[in-house]
Structure 1
Amino acid sequence: MNQVALVGRITKDPILRKLSQDRVQTSIIIAINRNYKNTKGEIEADFILCSLFGRLAENTAKHCGKGSLIGLSGRIQSRTYEREDQSRVFVTEVIGDEVRFLSTKSRLNNDLYANSTVSKQQEVAESETNHFELPVQESKELPIM
């Protein structure tokens, strides 16, 4: 059985990517508070990479912005790819099957689609690498719960 259910806040505005055959995809990172405090008395969070496809991706990009609280159900998927420098990258992400909009926030940018047109290989590489690190300044400003 491979089922995942998450509730958390989106860390930045979702951006749609056009794939082959008029399909669309978006990658989001969901910040989820842990149920305990660390030794300094602070609540820590996990940042989970999620991919959405088709109508689910379109609706999420249209209605949710940074800080939106969502419930997501789906499955865990692992994959690997090779970078130009021949290093191998391992990726684990949640592939969303359903999203519930619990508390939406307005998007900062109304442009739903990525601006550049790239080759399929670049598209896959970018979707796999551009969404794994949360900038330090953004993590400090992130309203989690």
Structure 2
Amino acid sequence: MLNRVILIGRLAQDPELRYTPNGVAVANFGLAVERRFTNQQGEREVDFFTIVTWRQLAENCANYLKKGRAVAVEGRLQTRSFENNEGRRIKITEIVADDVRFLDSGANRSGSGEGYREQGFGGGSGNNNQMNDPFADDGKPIDISDDDLPF
């Protein structure tokens, strides 16, 4: 059996960090994902997903992500149900993330491409110095001699 979900979108709200009675961190946030096609008005519709992260990944998301940040989320689809205060059975479907990759630098932070896995930091080089960023020129021409080319 296979239950894998990969989504790329933008945070619909800031992550909400809480702790279980046993002290385990859990963070929830909404993820807005545009559909590939447009509707009859020529606009792209958006789907909203609830993302749940646990432990160190939850704390990292709460500390470094804000509404509007672009992320890639990898995890599994999970459905759970509970009884609300009125005695009604409520069913919730959410994505439990194993990996969250930060795809943009955000307003005041650098770290493009860094990812955080359930086991700790994963992905990204950890080098946030824009002086070493080969794409820092934003598409301006780069002076490369023929000797620098590998072919």
Shared fold by TM > 0.5?
A: yes
Alignment correspondent of 1:74:
75
Native 8 Å contact 1:8 1:71 kept in 2: yes
Counterpart AA for 1:84 = N
Alignment correspondent of 1:94:
95
2:61 aligns to what SS in structure 1? Answer: helix
Superposition RMSD in Å: 1.2
Task: Note the alpha carbon deviations across 1:5-31, whole angstroms, 9 max, x for none.
Answer: 111000111121011221111111100
Q: Which whole-Å CA distance do the structure 2 matches of 1:10 and 1:103 have between them?
A: 12
Q: Which whole-Å CA distance do the structure 1 matches of 2:101 and 2:54 have between them?
A: 15
Alignment correspondent of 2:26:
25
More helix by share: 1
Counterpart AA for 1:91 = I
Aligned counterparts, 1:56-135, within 5 A: 56-106=57-107
1:106 Cα deviation after fit: 4.6
**Compared CA separation, residues 28 and 104, structure 1 to 2 (3 A):** farther
1:21 aligns to what SS in structure 2? Answer: coil
Alignment correspondent of 1:54:
55
Native 8 Å contact 1:29 1:47 kept in 2: yes
Alignment correspondent of 1:116:
none
Q: Which whole-Å CA distance do the structure 2 matches of 1:89 and 1:77 have between them?
A: 14
Counterpart AA for 1:49 = T
Counterpart AA for 1:71 = A
| Identical residues among aligned pairs (%) | 35
TM-score normalised to the size of structure 1? 0.71
Native 8 Å contact 1:65 1:106 kept in 2: no
Q: Which whole-Å CA distance do the structure 2 matches of 1:3 and 1:52 have between them?
A: 15
Counterpart AA for 2:37 = Y
Q: Which whole-Å CA distance do the structure 1 matches of 2:53 and 2:3 have between them?
A: 17
Gaps of 5+ in 2: 109-151
1:95 Cα deviation after fit: 0.3
The structure number with the bigger radius of gyration is: 2
1:46 Cα deviation after fit: 0.3
Alignment correspondent of 1:128:
none
Alignment correspondent of 1:115:
none
> Runs in 1 of length 4+ with deviation above 4 angstroms?
none
